[in-house]
Amino acid sequence: MIASVIGGGSWGSAFSIHLGRKGIETKLWIREPEIYDSTCIHRENKTFLPGVKFPRPVSFYNNVKQAIKGTDIVFIVIPSEYCREMYGIISPFLTKNQIIVSLTKGIERTSLKRMSELMKEVFDPEVTSRIAVLSGPSFAREVSDSHPTAVVVASEESAIARTIQSFVSSDFFRVYTSNDVLGVELAGALKNIIAISAGISDGLGYGRNTLAALITRGIAEITRLGVKMGAKPDTFSGLAGIGDLVLTCTGKLSRNRHVGFELGKGNSIQSILKEMKMVAEGVTTTLSARKFADDYKIEMPICEQMYEILYKNKDPRQALKDLMKRKLKEEKIF
């Protein structure tokens, strides 16, 4: 089987490296001409994943049609804000025999649609029966360094999930299956908001008590919303939920935690994002979470405070104080 990877950022590059090391012929599409040219010369993505060479089975493309032609599985690894446009571009080249897998952890801001929902809207019906999503605690750098990693792949078709599981799994990369596409996508997107709050806590100089509280109460409000929307509770206790949340809240490689850390130190959100090469999905996902909470009548206090900080210039220290001063209550998840 041959794979396409659409997206030459850090995660797309790392995932291609992983597949290549398995001996899988992999066609990596890179959008930026200068990064494409450099990668072809050096066999290394010096912009997003410096220091790691691509194995021989990985080839590079700047033409989408050529990158997709003749492959069996198409992995799409791009930020959510570009997905609708990209899905439209690749749609004419997809065939009914290809499996399509989203590795994007985000929600379209204008429509509040998840990536699998966008695929069903944009792709032909004969293609949408073969889509899946892959998520879980997986920093690109650590995957490219072959650190043991476990993720989950979800599809409405169990046979599709099992095919991807077998195709992607290795001695260093373990894949579990799920049929809860909704839960896996929501968990992967919403955890980024909590990671920003965790970064703020660290930036303000607070300790592990504060971080543990944010992680625990963060997964509580994510689970409340997910279950109300129709997801399975167990998903949020798994790799896509608490697993990815712990990673992004504590790991120094986390883009979203980095945003929060800089906010906690007093820097503006505009200056932080301007200096970043990669996208921190949690910033725009905060707007989606706030709308979801309102639509489904769900209390999401951490997400609400992140909205106040990111979009209303609220002082981060005051936001954490306001979380602590909320009305006392019994601990519940649902």
Q: What number of other Cβ atoms are within 10 A of residue 1's Cβ?
A: 11
Residues ≥6 apart with Cβ < 8 Å to 328: none
Distance of alpha carbon 195 from its chain centroid, rounded?
12
Rounded distance, CA 86 to CA 122, Å? Answer: 10
Task: Give the pLDDT confidence score for residue 287 in this predicted structure.
Answer: 95
Q: Which of 70, 129, 78 is nearest to 99 (CA)?
A: 129
Q: Which domains does the chain have, with CATH numbers?
A: 2-179 (3.40.50.720), 189-324 (1.10.1040.10)
Q: Which residues are catalytic?
A: 191
Task: Give the pLDDT confidence score for residue 272 in this predicted structure.
Answer: 93
Q: What is the pTM of this model?
A: 0.95
Task: Give the pLDDT confidence score for residue 171 in this predicted structure.
Answer: 97
Rounded to 5 degrees, φ, ψ at 150 are: -130, 135
Each residue's pLDDT expressed in tens, for the chain with a length of 334 residues: 999 999 999 999 999 999 999 999 999 999 999 999 999 999 999 999 999 999 999 999 999 999 999 999 999 999 999 999 999 999 999 999 999 999 999 999 999 999 999 999 999 998 988 999 999 999 999 999 999 999 999 999 999 999 999 999 999 999 999 999 999 999 999 999 999 999 999 999 999 999 999 999 999 999 999 999 999 999 999 999 999 999 999 999 999 999 999 999 999 999 999 888 777 888 999 999 999 999 999 999 999 999 999 999 999 999 999 999 999 999 987 7
Task: Give the pLDDT confidence score for residue 76 in this predicted structure.
Answer: 98
